[in-house]
Each structure stands twice: as C-alpha cells, then as structure tokens.
Amino acid sequence: MTEIDPKNRLAALVGHAVRAAFPDAGDVVVDLDRPRNADHGDFASNVAMQLAKRVGLKPREAAQAIVAALANVPEIAKTDIAGPGFINFTLSKSSRFAVVAAIGAAGAAFGRGRPGPARTIMVEFVSANPTGPLHVGHGRQAALGDAISTLLEWQGWKVLREFYYNDAGNQIANLALSVQFRLRESKGLVEGAAMHDDWYRGDYIKDIARDYAAEHPADADGGDLDAIRVFAVAYLRGEQDADLRAFGVKFDSYYLESSLYTEGKVDETVRMLVAAGRTYEFEGALWLKTTDFGDDKDRVMRKSDGTFTYFVPDVAYHLAKFRRGYASAVNVQGADHHSTVTRVRAGLQALSAGIPAGYPDYVLHQMVTVMKGGEEVKISKRAGSYVTVRDLIEEAGRDAVRWFFLMRKSDSHLVFDIDLAKSRSDENPVYYVQYAHARICAVLREWGGDEGRLGGASLAALGTPHEVALAQALAQFPEVLERAAREFSPHLVSFYLHDELAARLHTYYNAERFLVDDEEVKLARLALVAATRQVLANGLAVLGVSAPERM
C-alpha cells in the first residue's frame, strides 16, 4: 500500500468491493477493527452484517460476495469469514511493512493529521486561584491540558492555551489578610491574636510578607491592605509561572476574572439573562431558571447582599470566549467542578446568544494521591497543607511527573508513587518507554553506518512474527493520535507507547539480533527499529516527555 495509513487504504478497497458486489446497495460505511488475536489477521469488518438485510442475503453470503470481489487485490494476502459474517483481512508483506518507509519519509511529522479547513479552539486549563503555589492537582491538569492542546494541534487545529486567573472574590481578600497578619506578626503587632480559619498558612505567606516589607518600607506595619493584595497576587502569579516553566508548560493568553467586573461583562451578562426572561426574584435574590436546561434546581445569580454567586462570572467569561471567535472550547478542571458544567452551560443557553448546546466541552480529572516509602505524602514545606507541583518535579523529574499524570484516564483517581517514578526498572512505565528509545539509539550507534541508507533498505527481508507485530503497532500510531484528540484522552497515547510499541520493541530486541552478517536482513531490521525510534520520539513529544538517546 502506498498510503501512510493502511487502515484507510484497506477501507477504500473494501468499499470498492462492496459497490462492485452490490451496485444497488447504496452508501455503506466500512468500519475496520484490529483483532485482539493477531492470528485473526490485521483487520476485521462487520460490513457484510450491515448489508445483509439490505441486499436480501444471509450475512455470510454477503461476506462471500465481498471477498470474491476482492480477489487478486495485491495488498491483501488472505481473507477469512468468521462467525456470523465477520471478514478478517491479512495484509500482504509489502503492505504490512510499507509503514516503515512512510515513517522514514515523514519523520517528526509522522502521525499528524492531513491538512484541512482552518479550525480554531481554546483549551483552558490550570486556572488556579493566585493564592498559593500550584498543587499536584493543578499539575495533573497542566499535563492534561498541554497534551490535549498538542494532540489537537497534531490534528490540524489552531489552539489557544489560556489560563483564567480567579483574581476576584473572598479568596483574594483572605490572601491579603493572611499576608497582613504575617507582616504585623513579624513586627510584634499581633501578640495574642490568631489567624482566621479561612486564611492561608503556608510558609510562602511569610515570604510574601517579608518581600512586601522590603519593597514598601513606608508601609512596614501593613496598613495598606489594597497594596498588600495587589503585591500578593502579583507575587503568586510569578510563583505559579515559575512552577509552570519548571513543568515545561506555556500559555498563549492569561485572562483575569477581575476584568469581567471592571469591563462590565458580568453586569451585561445579567442584563441579557433578565431580558431573555430566564430570571426571577425571590427572597431578595435574583435566580436563574437553570431547571429549564436540565439542572436539578434553579440557582441564585445575585444574592440578597448584592454580590454574585461564582457561576455568574463563569457564564460571562464563556460568553466572552465565544465572542472572541472560539466556537470550540474545552475546559480542563478538577472533578470538584462537576456541578459547574450544568450551570455554566445552562447560563449560556439561557442567554439566547447563538451559543451551541454542550458548549464548552469539559475534561474533569480526579484527585492525585502522592506516595513515598509506602506512605501518603500530604504536605509541603512551602505550601504547608498540600504537595506542590515543584516538590514533585524536584523529587522525580519533569518527565516522570508528566508521564504519571497522563498514564491514566482523567476521570480515574491517580496514585503517584515517587519511589516508582524514580526507579530505573521495567516497572517504571516512563523508564520502560524511554529505554526503548535509548536502546534503539545504542543499536544504531553500534552499527555506525549512514542512516540515510536505511531509506533504501529492502523490507522484503522482514517477516518474523516479532517484526510483523512491531510493524502493526507502528501503523496504529496515527489512529491512536486521532482518537486521543477526538476524545481528549492523552492516556491513550501513553498506553500505546508502553503496552504496544515499547513492549513489542523490547520483545523483538530480546528475540532477534539486528547486526547480523546478512547485509539485506541487517539493513531491513535497522530500518524497522529506526522507524520505531521515530514513532517513540513523536509520541513522547506529544506528551511533553523527552526521548533520551542514552540511559
């Protein structure tokens, strides 16, 4: 097959055979799956079972007609009819190994979707309150959001990564009061007083108070609470930026919640909801009829004291997103935001502003438990009450932290075992995958030849079961990326790299010699493992993990 993706090429061939066998059957979608048992071939299809009733035949009879129409197709070595009418396809040797040359030609671009119409999407993630260092939950969110963004970019989307700063509300007021207390405490001005239960207690608050005093000598006693608030927010934004740099995550845009108030966007949103007839007053509060859009009860928008509930600025923010031209958007947030999904979507629909139902998409992730020495780690020296992202990176390294945060489905609880993440063993999944890449690099260094020669290697020399299995895994890579992007599921990539590609490479390495005397066989095997090295590097790059050449 000349196509990079043998699945698409086979689907086209089967579709042609269906039309030849049943010219009056109308349109049919050819779905191909990869059998779990490799002995059943490379692909299987239920197309005959879909067609049977339409063409007046039993499924197996329809399958026989399709198989007959595929006779003498050089890309297919064998077809089998199984069960009630499944068709199993075994590709020819040249078709199976054509992916090796395709990877060599595409290089770092292998796996990218074909260019299509320009599509723009915003991915919002982390969006932490600027009240402290980023904790491990933010770290999981950063890894997810960044990987989802990269996956979308690989499928041709133009992605904007945005961080939404919640720099308004009670938590910011409590931050300022916390810093003020520590500042006055350092001057001996709060003897006998205690911090309020809602205030922040990490050592970083003392650091902010110290730096504020150094930069504002005229306010040594901390009397200017507004100045303290501005300083503390800026300080912690800088700290969070440093955390993200250490994690290798960059944002294209930062959006301040406070701007929604200063620019009148919250007030405008409320006026639009009132004008749309979706609100009512009760007991001095303004309510939104969210039950009209699937919520279990109506929600308060404006409390009796005149302040807004948290979801109102969220609705205003997403209206602004839509107006900025982002008709597609996905938010990566913690599972504690589950109720936000219904309320924000209800508010957006209630605006009657042309925003599609289901906007925006959400990826909600579960919490992270950090383990070390068989015991749970609950606090940080810096933050006091939780483990920070920077703590974890300093302990285990960026690559391990990135990988571990992405190796499970986002909606599953994650246990981060620091000891495992630091181990140099096959039990450590990131080490296992990176070692596969480094192992191939070592083979190619030992060979010492010109890798440009591998592009002309005769792949007819390949054909052992291990080589077939490895080629099959390589051919799956574009499909894995496409599905992972469509489902916002980076864990599919880490699963593929570990359980499919690295596992088959290590098995092949242990079963066969690559640097054999037969020059044709040697070059063919080196071309196969060089292609594997490229796909490992591409997959790791999508996840934001390095591909070391030596380990």
CA dist., res. 229 & res. 395, Å (int): 32
**Together in a domain, 143 and 256:** yes
Residues 315 and 402 in one domain: no
Largest CA distance in the chain: 92
Indicate whether 114 belongs to any domain.
no
What is the structure's pLDDT at 383? 66
151 and 187 in a common domain? no
Together in a domain, 60 and 124: no
Same domain, 338 and 394: no
Helix (H, G, I), strand (E, B) or coil at 426: coil
pLDDT of residue 9: 86
Residues of the chain with pLDDT under 50: 1-3
Instruction: Please check whether residues 239 and 374 belong to one and the same domain.
Output: no
Q: Is residue 403 part of a domain?
A: yes
Domain end marker among 319, 347, 365 = 365
131 close to 175: Cβ distance less than 8 angstroms: yes
pLDDT at 40: 83
- Considering the domain boundaries, does residue 14 fall inside one? yes
Q: Are 285 and 300 in contact (CB under 8 A)?
A: yes
Q: How many domains would you assign to the chain?
A: 5
d(CA 517, CA 525): 12
- Give the CATH number for residue 42: 3.30.1360.70
- The strand ranges marked E within 83-156 are 86-91, 119-124
Chain centroid, CA 28 distance in Å: 33
In a domain, 277, yes or no: no
Is 281 inside a domain boundary?
Answer: no
- Examine the domain organization and report whether 212 and 329 are in the same domain: no
Write down which residue in 196, 212, 246 finishes a domain.
Answer: 246
Q: What is the pLDDT of residues 151-169, one digit of tens each?
A: 999 999 999 999 999 898 8
- DSSP strands (E only) in 374-478: 375-377, 414-417
Q: How many CB atoms lie within 10 A of CB 156?
A: 15
- Residue 257 neighbours by CB under 8 Å, 6+ apart: 164, 165, 166, 167, 168, 169, 313, 317
- Quote the pLDDT of residue 72: 87
Full-model pTM: 0.92
Does 134 lie in the same domain as 220? no
Residue 156, by phi and psi: left (phi above 0), alpha (psi -120 to 50) or beta? left
pLDDT of residue 202: 87
Instruction: Output the pLDDT for position 25.
Output: 85
What CATH number did the domain enclosing 352 receive? 3.40.50.620
Length of the chain: 551
Task: Report if residue 197 sits inside a domain.
Answer: yes
Q: Kindly state whether residue 280 falls inside one of the protein's structural domains.
A: no
Contacts of 197 (CB under 8 A, 6+ apart): none
**85 and 164, same structural domain?**
no
Co-location of 450 and 496 in the same domain: yes
- Is the domain of 385 the same as that of 517? no
Query: Domain range holding 211?
Result: 170-246
Long-range contacts of 212-218 (CB under 8 A, 24+ apart): 212/179, 212/183, 213/183, 213/186
Check whether residue 320 and residue 456 sit in a common domain: no
Residue-level pLDDT at 190:
87
The rounded distance, in Å, linking the Cα atoms of 143 and 406 is 7
Structure confidence by residue, pLDDT tens digits, 336-367: 888 889 999 999 999 999 999 999 999 999 99
Q: Please report the pLDDT score of residue 3 as a whole number.
A: 44
The whole-number pLDDT of residue 195 equals 87
Is position 304 within any domain? Answer: no
Q: Position 180: which residue type?
A: Q
